[in-house]
Structure 1
Amino acid sequence: MTTNSPLPNWKDKILFTPGPLTTSRTVKQALLRDLGSRDYEFNSLVTDIRKRLLDVGGVADSGYEAIIMQGSGTFSMESVISSTIPPDGKLLVIINGAYGRRVAQIAEAHHIAIAPLIYPENSKPDLAEIEAALEADGAITSVAVIHCETTTGIMNPIKEIGAIVKRYGKTYFVDAMSSFGGVPFNLAECEIDYMVSSANKCIEGIPGFGIILAKRETLLKTEGYARTFSLDLLSQLQRFDKDGQFRFTPPTHSLLAYHQALIELEMEGGVEGRAARYKTNYDTLIAGMRKMGFEEYLSAEDQGFIITSFPYPEHPNFDFEKFYKALNERDYVIYPGKVSEADCFRIGSIGRILPADMLALLAAIREVLVEMEIEL
């Protein structure tokens, strides 16, 4: 049932998206104060955030550094790509979705040579082909892959790829934008040199910055590689080393919220505890959608529990814009599709949402289908 009441709701709409996400009341409250960006209290908070991030990645005291970069997650991707590949380097980009393509676009914008390995959006990369590409092209210096490719929700095998990359002595970059903090993995075990994520994903903070976990020894060798001034990754690490501060104005309020979000991640049982909730959300969603007659775009063995793509129903009455609007009016926000070869919509299982929220969304979807006179 929809309402046209002019009164504001007592709560926000629930976001079933890949980010920004629904956040807790306490995370929202944490940013309602002002701190000086050069103040000792703020510097102490940033130091604690950086320490906690290494814990989340399983690499505390393992030779890694957590570096915070202002802007969206894409800014941090560009920071790594533009700062760490040698002037004469070449990037092998493993692509099975829009975000792999984005990595290639960023590299090309900086005139970095690329060797793209392109796969269908519903297929995982072929490990033998990755090895063959490295064997055949000695000019390749770096390899990049997306962990959770949110175009579809597919999970790429970052540990197996990492083993191949290191066998050939290359630098390994993983975009874990939508998986870090929600899917357990250890950077060192995956042999990752650089990992990128965003404040507004599985840690359940708000937008404003990206985070980079970098192997210190590898990053220190990149002196002179940076192709930008603002996104110079090594320079930001050196500034943190010097006095714990940012080179440029940091998003103080976003960082206050993020610190609270990291505390709440620990309270939930760390990444494993959060992953268990997200997996339950996903299982609830899939059971309910299948019962209504929807199908997932990916095969079950390739699908992760972060976000799921559903092809449009083959029914003459289905119109995505009407479907989306009807759910939005009921305070449930889903996500348009991004698959190139199929019309899909996406529903995320992450953020501060519970299985009860999933059940409520499913009830709303059933109600909307009845309104649209769609029976699957």
Structure 2
Amino acid sequence: MLNINKTSNNPYLLLTPGPLTTTDSVKQAMLKDWCTWDDEYNELVNSIRHRLVRLAAPQCPEKYTAVLMQGSGSFSVEAVLGTVIPKHGGKLAVAVNGAYGERMVAMAEVLGIPVTAVRFDEREAINPDVFEEALKNDPSITHAAIVHCETTTGVLNPLSELADVVSSQGKILIVDAMSSFGGVPLDMEQLQIDYLISSSNKCIQGVPGFGFVLARISSLETCKGNARSLSLDLYDQWDVMERMNGKWRYTSPTHVVRAFDQALHELEVEGGINARYLRYHQNQQLLVTGMKEAGFSTLLPEEWHSPIITSFRYPDENFSFSDFYTRLKKEGFVLYPGKLTSVPTFRIGTIGDVHTSDVLELIRIVKQISAN
């Protein structure tokens, strides 16, 4: 099992939901230059696409395809929304319980897509029954979107139940699995997901630079001419990659792609998504136990926790996150501030090249700081 912790190339661990701490071997993969027209590079791109599909739909990979898109994960989310929803007669419903659901609503509004936001408290998981009622009450809705792991708080929304609701209502399902894909097991065919979106710098443990969309081919084939953007035309990007053996329409992040290929290899060596989920889950469980011993409580009840990132409440009104952050960074750990306005919190991620020894060391230092 890979266990490459802090080195001279990693002065601190990023305990964040991505970008995250990568292995030295992933970094080293970026030391070679690649030409975007070269057959060897394009074959590498196609290899990545095929391996992603096998991870997402292992039982029937022939029904799905992978499209790589330049930019951060949000670029890929916008590419999906702007391409797969028809210019006429389409309407989107978004289940919102955090900043990334809200971002999809904002994207739809900017793109001129009719959208309904079905909002829930940020401190709760999405309620499938409530979302189902919203879909039933508006037959004009054609597409439904949810965030699997909403890193605003770290809540893991009930994907299986929500997918059943969307399927029963006959809607196209779009899943933002940005922070979960590669770290939480799922099967697109079993869940009847039409579009799943993630990015290079999350649970696959690559570096930032591109996102990717896993799509049901029969659904994507109907999307020609829908796009509201030239650069973010998901259909055209897919069409070119299919016809030109992995070629991107515009300049691709070649070094990032090479690093991602190495990261995929390391996922395979670790034992695949199930093994990585187990490591992340163990990290998160150990973290919560240790933080509680140090006097911190979690924002969410345990049944809503994800293995990705966890929100902790401030222990008292005198707590200074800025001081806490600075002291931990000096010891080699970087955290995330909270994203809620209603409750003072901070967040600690447990994904990336992070292992139980790292979490134990973090807890030791946190206890030391809390005792002073």
For the aligned pair, the TM-score class normalised by the smaller chain equals over 0.9
- What secondary structure does 1:222 align onto? coil
1:177-228 deviation line (CA, Å, top 9, x unaligned) = 0000000010111111000001000000000000100001101111211000
Q: Which amino acid aligns with 1:261?
A: A
1:130 and 1:283 map into 2 onto residues whose CA distance is 30
Deviation of 1:10 (Å): 5.8
Alignment TM-score, normalising by the size of structure 1:
0.94
1:297 equivalent in structure 2: 299
Deviation of 1:127 (Å): 1.7
Q: Which segments of 5 or more consecutive residues in structure 1 lack a partner in the other structure?
A: 1-7
1:325 equivalent in structure 2: 326
Q: Is the 8 A contact 1:160 1:190 kept in 2?
A: no
- What secondary structure does 1:189 align onto? helix
Q: Is the 8 A contact 2:178 2:197 kept in 1?
A: yes
When the two chains are superposed, the root-mean-square deviation of aligned CA atoms in Å is 1.2
Deviation of 1:12 (Å): 2.5
Give 1:168-317 correspondences, 5 Å limit: 168-244=169-245, 245-316=247-318
Q: Which amino acid aligns with 1:234?
A: Y
- What secondary structure does 1:288 align onto? helix
- What secondary structure does 1:188 align onto? helix
Query: Does 2:51 correspond to 1:52?
Result: yes
- What secondary structure does 1:310 align onto? strand
Q: Is the 8 A contact 2:82 2:228 kept in 1?
A: yes
Report the more deviating stretch, 169-178 or 56-65: 56-65
Deviation of 1:9 (Å): 4.8
Q: Is the 8 A contact 2:54 2:61 kept in 1?
A: no
Deviation of 1:363 (Å): 1.5
Deviation of 1:164 (Å): 1.6
1:352 equivalent in structure 2: 353
Q: Which amino acid aligns with 1:98?
A: A
Query: Does 2:28 correspond to 1:29?
Result: yes
1:262-312 deviation line (CA, Å, top 9, x unaligned) = 000001110001011111111111111111111000001111111000011
1:366 equivalent in structure 2: 367
- What secondary structure does 1:92 align onto? strand
1:235 and 1:340 map into 2 onto residues whose CA distance is 40
Report the more deviating stretch, 163-172 or 147-156: 163-172
1:96 equivalent in structure 2: 97
1:313-340 deviation line (CA, Å, top 9, x unaligned) = 1152x11111111111111101111123
2:167 equivalent in structure 1: 166
Alignment TM-score, normalising by the size of structure 2:
0.95
Q: Is the 8 A contact 1:72 1:210 kept in 2?
A: yes
Deviation of 1:256 (Å): 0.3
Q: Which segments of 5 or more consecutive residues in structure 2 lack a partner in the other structure?
A: 1-6
Q: Is the 8 A contact 1:197 1:212 kept in 2?
A: yes
Give the fraction of aligned pairs with identical amino acids, expressed as a percent: 44
1:130 equivalent in structure 2: 131
Counterparts in 2 of 1:157 and 1:106: CA distance versus 1, 3 Å: same
1:52-80 deviation line (CA, Å, top 9, x unaligned) = 10121134524110100000000000000
Give 1:65-104 correspondences, 5 Å limit: 65-88=65-88, 89-104=90-105
Counting matched residue pairs gives 363
1:156-183 deviation line (CA, Å, top 9, x unaligned) = 1122111221222211100000000000
Counterparts in 2 of 1:85 and 1:123: CA distance versus 1, 3 Å: same
- What secondary structure does 1:221 align onto? coil
Q: Is the 8 A contact 1:175 1:197 kept in 2?
A: yes
1:11 and 1:213 map into 2 onto residues whose CA distance is 31
